Amino acid sequence: MTEPTTPPPAQGSFPGMPERLYVASPSRLLAYVDCPRRYRLQYLDRPKPTPAPQRAHTSLGIAVHNTLRDWWDLPAQQWSASRAMELVRASWVATGFRDEAMSRRWLERSQRHVVDYLRGLSPANRPIGVERTVSLRTGSIIVQGRIDRLDDRPTSDGGRALVVVDYKTSRRTSTEQELRTSLPMALYAVAVGAMFRRSCVDVELHHVPSSTVVRHRHTTESLQRKVAEAESIAADLKRADADYAERGVESPHFPPRLSALCGWCDFRAHCAEGAAHAPEQSPWAALEPDTAPAPGQGRASPAD
């Protein structure tokens, strides 16, 4: 009987070398979970297919995030409603809106939302990180991402607690379940804890349009489960990436995952199945009706 032979090492490696860690962002991991086809189009295909133009809700979200980033650079004596409105206006772009009038209405609305949200902040409680890049290394993956804000707050027992804060600008308010099950927020908490060599179990979603805050406190066990989830997704991705490198678009690892989100997909022009499954949403659809905030509708829009 012929003895099995050991396959030669991969190019650029030697026998006994440790396996290379898989590097990804939380967005990349979740892109594969949401739709393997979109993942392939967004991260693997070269040349990269041209995505759809930026949508209105994305333009709005970028402007608000930039404002909240720049706000903390201001000296306390410059904190005012008018200054906040100036920051929103300076970051505003009209890309994706139906017309100039719609862009102007949402600019004014966003200015009011930001001013109302900022009233609850104190210059004495400045964050220790704003749009800070964090990284988590395990035995099999490296996860890198950027957090909106990192606070170091006093606790009721006289100690201090690190809190990861993420801003939300969608029309639907955030929920505790959304935060509790969020893979990115859990990974950011673990990464912060490792980087600062302190426990970090508190995460928050700040919904700017309503000035509401959703909080969740993880346990060591719940964070470990999220890390294991990320490692499992990364293992699938590693296999899929390797198969793509060998077989290209013929790889069976990237089927479309058809859902209502196909109507919002930035790469629907390159996916016949998705384009046939759901009608294309207009670039401003997530902000309709253009009058008052809409109630929560589940996961029908990426702006949620």
Full pLDDT tens readout for the chain, 304 residues? 444 444 444 555 566 666 789 999 999 999 999 999 999 999 999 999 999 999 999 999 999 999 999 999 999 999 999 999 999 999 999 999 999 999 999 999 999 999 999 998 999 899 999 999 999 999 999 999 999 999 999 988 888 999 999 999 999 999 999 999 999 999 999 999 999 999 999 999 999 999 999 999 999 999 999 999 999 999 999 999 999 999 999 999 999 999 999 999 999 999 999 999 999 999 999 999 886 443 333 344 555 5
pLDDT at 302: 58
Q: Enumerate residues 6+ apart whose C-beta is below 8 A from 66.
A: 87, 91
Per-residue exposure over 1-34, b if at least 16 CB sit within 10 Å of its own CB, e if not: eeeeeeeeeeeeeeeeeeeeebebbbebbbbbeb
Which two structure tokens, joined as six digits, stand for 111? Answer: 């200015």
Residue closest to 39 by CA, chosen among 290, 301, 266: 266
CA neighbor of 205 nearest in space, from 245, 165, 238, 148: 165
Rounded to whole angstroms, the Cα distance separating 55 from 3 reads 59
Number of alpha carbons in the 13 Å side-chain half-sphere of residue 154: 5
SS3 state at 13: coil
The pLDDT of residue 62:
98
The pLDDT score that the predictor gives to residue 15 is 63
**129-228 — its CATH code?**
3.90.320.10
* Residues 186, 228 contacting (CB under 8 angstroms): no
- Predicted confidence at residue 157, as pLDDT, reads 86
Helix (H) or strand (E) holding 129: strand 129-137
d(CA 134, CA 144): 6
- Tokens 């707050």: give the residue: 153
Report DSSP state, residue 15: T
C-alpha gyration radius of the chain:
22
- The end-to-end CA distance of the chain, in Å, is 61
- The helix/strand count (H/E) of the chain reads as 9, 6
- The predicted pLDDT at position 247 comes to 97
The residue written with tokens 């200054």 in the block is: 83
